[in-house]
Amino acid sequence: MSKGLAGDISMLRGEPPLEYLAKANRLEAQGRDMVRFEIGQPDFDTPENVKEAAKGSLDEGFTHYVPTLGIPDLIEAIQDDIEKSRGFRPDKEQIMVLPGAKPGIFFGLMTTVEMGEEVIYQNPFYFQYDSLIGYMGAKKVQIPLYEKDDFRMTPEQVQEKMSGDTRLILLNSPQNPTGGVLKKKDIEAIAEMAEENDAYILSDEIYSKMLYDGEKHYSPSYLDECKERTIIVDGFSKAYSMTGWRLGYMVAPEEIIHKTHNLFADVGSCTTSFVQKGGVEALRNGQHFVDHIMEHFTKRRTAIVQGLNEVPGMSCIYPKGAFYVFPNIKETGMKSEELANYMIDEAGVCLLPGTSFGSQGEGFLRISYASSLEDIEEGIRRMKTAMEKVL
Ligand SMILES: Cc1ncc(COP(=O)(O)O)c(C=O)c1O
């Protein structure tokens, strides 16, 4: 890799939406009642059986270094889960357990892309992508997502952007921030282009278990079984409500796992031992929990979409996965940031401007419905009142 002492730190964005969070916190500290729609984490507690598994392993003294790649029983549980969900069984040597999906994205980019090479990704995007691609000195090649396409990127768009310098295509389905889900035929067409151009595919599948209306998760990974060019990144934060545990993994060609292993051995040694025991329990006995929270998310999704469509100046399509909506606010005549600030100040509703997720987010807001139905109803009521004042 030719990145000098470090990448360009000035390109790192951190978490830009933090400014809205900080503002809402400040107002709350001053006694203001705020409805919080900005946070991208499920509001459910981690399942009890997962906590018990981690506690039990602590009591048994499972508190020392473990293999850098991950503990064998978690690697086996991941093999089983991938086989069930993606239709192929990766070799153990293709799996690396990491502290969250984020490190998987970092290491996936770090081990494949050289400075100056092109990375294709969607705009609006999950902000970590844009930050890291800039940091690594890779060239940002963005594909705009449109509401009329249900925020799905199309193979035609990818084809248009492919060049001899394309090193990696970043997929994220279901997508943060729009809830868009890629279609099987589109994924296959994109994977074919990646093969023709000898590019990698990094597929961030952190929301793969969070789909609605019988929608299915399709991963490009089954095409090459992660042996040649596909890297899956997935984790436990969202589906099992384990954001603070920091647990995720990547499935990738052995050579990439080997490089990641060496990097992570120097950076972190291993992912926390007893946290991994919790992960085994989540994958082995956690489906009932996923079903339970998806039942709640389905009701919340209906409430928020119907409610937003009644707010003057706003319209909203149903997301197909994850737990975000991306309402269109163009009819309000306000810019996204202006409206997000107005909602915090006037309505006591904290949400994010679409532009926190890229230029293509102008004219939209991002709302996370990882909140109770009561909060959703109250938030909608407040937004309606606030918009009636100005429209
Ligand atoms: C698309 C996407 N990828 C990755 C992550 C990070 O996941 P983790 O908490 O496992 O690092 C998030 C979290 O919001 C996300 O939305």
Give pLDDT tens digits for 205-239.
999 999 999 999 999 999 999 999 999 999 999 99
82 forms bridges with which residues in the sheet?
A: none
Sorting pLDDT into bands at 50, 70 and 90, what band is 17? confident
Instruction: Note the pLDDT tens digit of each residue in 139-196.
Output: 999 999 999 999 999 999 999 999 999 999 999 999 999 999 999 999 999 999 999 9
Residue 272 CB–ligand 1 contact under 6 Å: no
Q: To the nearest whole percent, how much of the chain has pLDDT over 70?
A: 98
Checking if the pLDDT of 16 tops 70, the result is: no
Residue 86 CB–ligand 1 contact under 6 Å: no
Q: Which residues contact 4 (CB under 8 A, 6 or more apart)?
A: none
Q: Cα(173) to centroid of ligand 1, in Å?
A: 12
Instruction: Note the pLDDT tens digit of each residue in 28-38.
Output: 999 999 999 99
Sorting pLDDT into bands at 50, 70 and 90, what band is 14? confident
Position 165: which residue type? Answer: D
Write out the two tokens for 305: 């979409």
170 forms bridges with which residues in the sheet?
A: 202
Asked whether 119 and 136 are in contact (CB, 8 A), the reply is no
Average pLDDT for 241-269: 97
β-strands 118-123, 139-144: how paired? parallel
CA-nearest of 319, 342, 316, 345 to 328 is 316
Checking if the pLDDT of 2 tops 50, the result is: no
- Predicted pLDDT at 1: 42
Q: What is the DSSP string of 43-54?
A: -SPPPHHHHHHH
Residue 250: C-alpha distances to residues 61, 137, 187, 253, 261 (Å):
27, 23, 19, 10, 11
The conformational region for residue 143 under phi > 0 = left, psi -120 to 50 = alpha, else beta, is beta
β-strands 35-36, 118-123: how paired? unpaired
Q: Which residue has the higher pLDDT, 1 or 156?
A: 156
Residue 101 CB–ligand 1 contact under 6 Å: yes
Site to substitute for ligand 1 among 46, 96, 102, 250, most atoms within 8 A of C-beta: 102
Residue 108 CB–ligand 1 contact under 6 Å: no
Checking if the pLDDT of 297 tops 60, the result is: yes
Checking if the pLDDT of 5 tops 90, the result is: no
- Predicted pLDDT at 8: 79
Residue 243 CB–ligand 1 contact under 6 Å: yes
Position 355: which residue type? Answer: T
Can you give the pTM of this predicted structure?
0.96
Q: What is the DSSP string of 355-369?
A: GGG-GGGTTBEEEE-
- Phi, psi of 371, rounded to the nearest 5 degrees: -135, 160
Residue 204 CB–ligand 1 contact under 6 Å: yes
- Predicted pLDDT at 185: 96
Average pLDDT, the chain: 95
Residue 131 CB–ligand 1 contact under 6 Å: no
- Predicted pLDDT at 10: 80
Average pLDDT for 315-330: 98
Site to substitute for ligand 1 among 21, 176, 324, 356, most atoms within 8 A of C-beta: 176
Residue matched to tokens 């992508």:
129
Query: What b/e sequence results for 55-84 when a residue is b if at least 16 CB atoms lie within 10 Å of its CB, and e otherwise?
Result: eebeeeeeeeebbbbbbeebbbbbbebbee
Average pLDDT for 318-346: 97
Instruction: Note the pLDDT tens digit of each residue in 41-93.
Output: 999 999 999 999 999 999 999 999 999 999 999 999 999 999 999 999 999 99
Q: Which domains can be identified in the chain, with CATH numbers?
A: 9-45+288-390 (3.90.1150.10), 49-285 (3.40.640.10)
Residue 235 CB–ligand 1 contact under 6 Å: yes
